[in-house]
């Protein structure tokens, strides 16, 4: 008798499995990265309050400290990237971003020349369910102004001078040339962009970045 | 809320080790419940007298597979963040054959040997000694067949990607195959029992 | 120590005391749910052989530190010394497996100091087979980058190509040699 009950249980289990399997067949594909609904108000708020912005100084600090919990992505063309890029960055374009190997749980910092391209990429990634997406405020332009070629007025106060000393250090780290004086004659023409000294990481998938294997 | 929790930074590595321990307890518990602490029961699979290995393994695969599919379909689990061990076809085929041979000779696989060991099977303890010897040997001669070890790489690839069909189709196929195998296993066990009865 | 005698008396006792195993399908579903939980919480599956490899690597490192660190295989499982290599997910998981197996065995009265074998083989021979089987398993698991838990079960459920190839081969290998091994088990 007991055997009889057992058999019906097994049959029931098999039927359940078949039903669920059939549902899977109809469902087709699982949603890549889950289902995300875009909350436009939330996005607007984020944009408005600039929560998703990273300042040039902040980013410079991260790079100096060798922080590894984020990925820096350069959205300019390959040619521009090869001429100069922020150390540790990886290059991809807006169109290639969709297939670029970044994961949804990664912190991503985007930059382009100004802010437009990275802002567009930001929306693209947010819509696809990426949560930790940030933009370098002011893009490469601001990076140049603040880090590579910082400038201080001659009539600066003591506090400003003290703060500038720190920026000078940072600037030197990135091979920049800090300048004093508001002399506009010393225009950007005379200052060369720093040469690429720090090796940028080769394009690598996320598995290569993992320190420890997850396999058996 | 989105899974996998750990990959979204919901807890740190220290806690992940506690999670590992708890999940391990569950794993060991159900292995023992199924009778996989017994080498004889495991080996019986290969003599068609007790098909528990096949039944347990495939019901586990089907359960987890359906769970993963529907959770990710509902948007609860991000499948792209679940680790897929990269495929190296030839070494894995060779390794599978060796492992199968080792299974029928030794009577256990690494996971079940741990359960057998903690339930007092002395042969399982000897077997674990053998695993260590095998790993030492492998590490020792590794430089010699390193090329083979890294041959035929296919990357992290799944069957739906390989056959270019929908994930759901493959899930359904696996369920069909598994249920078919279960029916055959039940039938085979009955036949073997009858045969044994006739011999006695 | 007369193992053979011990075991005979143990076997008879066991048959009286030990509770029957669970329905294999239910155990399988339980196992599958544990695996699913591991995916949802950790984003990875189960494993076993990795913990053995970590242990082996540490043993090699204690005996010959330079050799271990220069060997491509062992060095992967070692750390730079700032943290213990045993602070590893799989190591903790396998400790859990030992505990979980013990809990289940104790609840069902299945904890027995015994040797698993058929009636036609001596305990000594069984040990020889167990050891050589374990050795083949160790080599095979490393070659395949995982064992029945890490590859077949874990990869099987997420439809990993290599895992399915591996799984079919495990059954093929075992069935191919089953006839030669029949004296050990039946």
pLDDT in tens, A79-132: 888 888 888 889 988 888 877 888 887 889 999 988 888 888 888 888 877 878
Are C60 and A186 a contacting pair, CB within 8 Å?
no
Looking at the structure, do residues C106 and C23 belong to the same domain, yes or no? Answer: yes
pLDDT in tens, C56-111: 999 999 999 888 888 888 888 888 777 888 989 999 999 999 999 999 999 999 99
CB atoms within 10 A of CB A28: 12
Task: Establish if C8 belongs to a structural domain.
Answer: no
Q: Which residues pair with B77 in a beta bridge?
A: B3
How far does B60 lie from chain A, in Å, by closest CA?
11
Are B154 and B87 a contacting pair, CB within 8 Å?
yes
Which of these, A131, A81, A133, A73, lies nearest to A100 by C-alpha position? A73
CA distance A22 to C178: 36
Looking at the structure, do residues C79 and C149 belong to the same domain, yes or no? Answer: no
User: What's the gap between Cα A34 and its chain centre?
Assistant: 21
What is the predicted pLDDT for the residue at B118? 95
What is the predicted pLDDT for the residue at A109? 92
What is the CATH topology of the domain spanning A40-143?
A: Oxidized Rhodanese; domain 1 (3.40.250)
Are C99 and B99 a contacting pair, CB within 8 Å?
no
| pLDDT: which is higher, A178 or B120 | B120
Q: Is the pLDDT of residue C10 over 70?
A: no
Residue with tokens 């374009």: A93
| pLDDT: which is higher, B6 or A201 | B6
Chains that touch B (3 or more CB pairs under 8 A): A, C
Average per-residue pLDDT in chain C? 88
- b/e for C29-49, b at 16 or more Cβ within 10 A? bbbbbbbbbbbbbbbbbbbbb
Looking at the structure, do residues C100 and C148 belong to the same domain, yes or no? Answer: no
Highest averaged pLDDT of the listed ranges A126-135, B31-40, B69-78? B31-40
How far does C16 lie from chain A, in Å, by closest CA?
20
Task: Establish if C11 belongs to a structural domain.
Answer: no
What is the predicted pLDDT for the residue at A182? 54
Please give the interface size between A and B, counted as residue pairs whose CB atoms are below 8 Å apart: 97
Task: Establish if C142 belongs to a structural domain.
Answer: yes
Strands B87-88 and B153-155: antiparallel
What is the predicted pLDDT for the residue at A148? 86
**Cα torsion C94, B14, A208, B76: sign:** positive
A24: nearest CB among B172, B179, B186: B172
Residue boundaries of the structural domains of chain A:
40-143, 149-183
Q: Do C32 and B23 count as a contact with CB atoms less than 8 A apart? A: no
CA distance A142 to C22: 67
Task: Establish if C72 belongs to a structural domain.
Answer: yes
- What pTM was estimated for this model as a whole? 0.82
Question: Which residues from C are below 8 Å from A9, CB to CB?
Answer: 23, 25
| pLDDT: which is higher, A160 or B63 | B63
Looking at the structure, do residues C25 and C95 belong to the same domain, yes or no? Answer: yes
C25: nearest CB among A13, A213, A215: A13
Q: Give the C-alpha distances (Å, rounded to integers) separating B65 from A10, A18, A180, B190, C153.
A: 19, 13, 65, 29, 10
What is the predicted pLDDT for the residue at C37? 96
Question: Which residues from A are below 8 Å from B62, CB to CB?
Answer: 17, 21
Number of domains, chain C: 2
**For residues B168-189, average pLDDT:** 95
Task: Establish if C6 belongs to a structural domain.
Answer: no
pLDDT in tens, C119-145: 889 999 999 999 999 999 999 999 999
**For residues C34-45, average pLDDT:** 94
Asked which of C71, C93, C111 is the last residue of a domain, the reply is C111
Looking at the structure, do residues C100 and C167 belong to the same domain, yes or no? Answer: no
pLDDT in tens, B126-155: 999 999 999 999 999 998 889 999 999 998
| pLDDT: which is higher, C88 or A192 | C88
Looking at the structure, do residues C69 and C33 belong to the same domain, yes or no? Answer: yes
Looking at the structure, do residues C134 and C65 belong to the same domain, yes or no? Answer: no
Residue with tokens 């922020």: A86
Tokens describing residue C95:
């400790």
User: What's the gap between Cα A135 and its chain centre?
Assistant: 7
| pLDDT-above-90 percentage for chain A | 10
Q: Do A29 and B86 count as a contact with CB atoms less than 8 A apart? A: no
What is the predicted pLDDT for the residue at A216? 58
Looking at the structure, do residues C23 and C95 belong to the same domain, yes or no? Answer: yes
pLDDT in tens, A25-75: 998 888 765 456 667 777 777 777 777 888 888 898 888 888 888 899 999
What is the domain range of residue C149? 119-186
CA distance C160 to B117: 30
Looking at the structure, do residues C123 and C97 belong to the same domain, yes or no? Answer: no
What is the predicted pLDDT for the residue at A7? 66
pLDDT band for position A205 (cuts 50, 70, 90): very low
What is the predicted pLDDT for the residue at A201? 47
Tokens describing residue A72:
């820096």
C49: nearest CB among A6, A214, A216: A216
What is the predicted pLDDT for the residue at C128? 95
């Amino acid at each position: 008798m007991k055997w009889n009950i057992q058999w019906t249980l097994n049959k029931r289990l098999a039927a359940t499995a078949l039903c669920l399997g059939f549902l899977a067949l109809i469902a087709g594909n699982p949603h890549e990265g889950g289902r995300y609904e875009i909350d436009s108000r939330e996005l607007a708020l984020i944009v408005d309050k600039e929560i998703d912005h990273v300042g040039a100084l902040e980013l410079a600090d991260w790079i100096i400290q060798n922080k590894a919990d984020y990925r820096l992505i350069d959205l300019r063309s390959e040619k521009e990237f090869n001429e100069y890029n922020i150390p540790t960055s990886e290059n991809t374009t807006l169109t290639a971003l969709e297939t670029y190997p970044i994961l949804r749980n990664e912190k991503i910092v985007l930059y382009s020349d100004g802010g437009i391209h990275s802002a567009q990429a930001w929306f693209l990634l947010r819509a696809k369910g990426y949560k930790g997406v940030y933009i370098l405020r002011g893009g490469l332009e601001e990076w140049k102004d603040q880090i590579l070629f910082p400038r201080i007025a001659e009539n600066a106060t003591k506090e400003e001078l003290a703060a500038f000393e720190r920026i000078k250090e940072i600037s030197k780290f990135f091979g920049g040339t800090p300048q004093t004086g508001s002399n506009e004659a010393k225009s950007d023409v005379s200052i060369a962009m720093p040469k690429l000294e720090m090796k940028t990481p080769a394009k690598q998938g996320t598995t290569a970045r993992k320190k420890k294997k997850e396999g058996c | 809320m989105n899974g996998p929790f750990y990959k979204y930074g919901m807890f740190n590595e220290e806690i992940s080790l506690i999670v590992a321990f708890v999940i391990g307890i569950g794993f060991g518990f159900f292995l023992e419940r199924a009778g996989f602490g017994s080498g004889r029961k495991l080996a019986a699979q290969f003599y068609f007298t007790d098909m528990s290995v096949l039944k347990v393994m495939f019901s586990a695969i089907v359960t987890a597979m359906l769970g993963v599919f529907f959770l990710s379909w509902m948007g609860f689990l991000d499948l792209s963040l679940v680790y897929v061990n990269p495929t190296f076809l030839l070494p894995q085929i060779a390794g599978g054959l060796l492992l199968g041979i080792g299974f029928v000779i030794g009577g256990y696989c690494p996971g079940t040997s741990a359960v057998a060991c903690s339930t007092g099977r002395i042969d399982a303890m000897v077997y674990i000694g053998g695993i260590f010897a095998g790993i030492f040997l492998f590490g020792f001669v590794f430089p010699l067949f390193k090329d083979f070890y890294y041959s035929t790489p296919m990357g992290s690839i799944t069957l739906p990607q390989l056959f270019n069909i929908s994930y759901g189709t493959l899930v359904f196929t696996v369920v069909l195959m598994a249920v078919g195998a279960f029916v055959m296993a039940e039938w085979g066990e009955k036949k073997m029992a009858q045969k044994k009865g006739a011999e006695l | 120590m007369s193992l053979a005698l011990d075991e005979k008396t143990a076997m008879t006792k066991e048959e009286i005391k030990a509770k029957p195993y669970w329905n294999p399908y239910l155990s399988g579903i339980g196992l599958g749910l544990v695996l699913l939980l591991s995916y949802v919480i950790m984003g990875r599956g189960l494993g076993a052989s990795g913990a053995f490899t970590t242990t082996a690597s540490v043993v090699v490192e204690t005996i010959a530190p330079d050799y271990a660190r220069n060997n491509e295989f062992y060095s992967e499982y070692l750390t730079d010394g700032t943290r213990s290599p045993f602070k590893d997910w799989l190591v903790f998981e396998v400790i859990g497996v030992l505990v979980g197996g013990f809990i289940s065995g104790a609840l069902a009265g299945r904890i027995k100091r015994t040797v698993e074998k058929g009636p036609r083989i001596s305990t000594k021979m069984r040990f020889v087979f167990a050891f050589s089987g374990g050795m083949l398993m160790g080599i095979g698991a490393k070659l395949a980058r995982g064992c029945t838990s890490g590859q077949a079960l874990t990869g099987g459920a997420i439809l990993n190509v290599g895992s399915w190839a591996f799984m079919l081969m495990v059954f093929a290998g075992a069935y191919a040699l089953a006839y030669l091994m029949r004296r050990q088990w039946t």
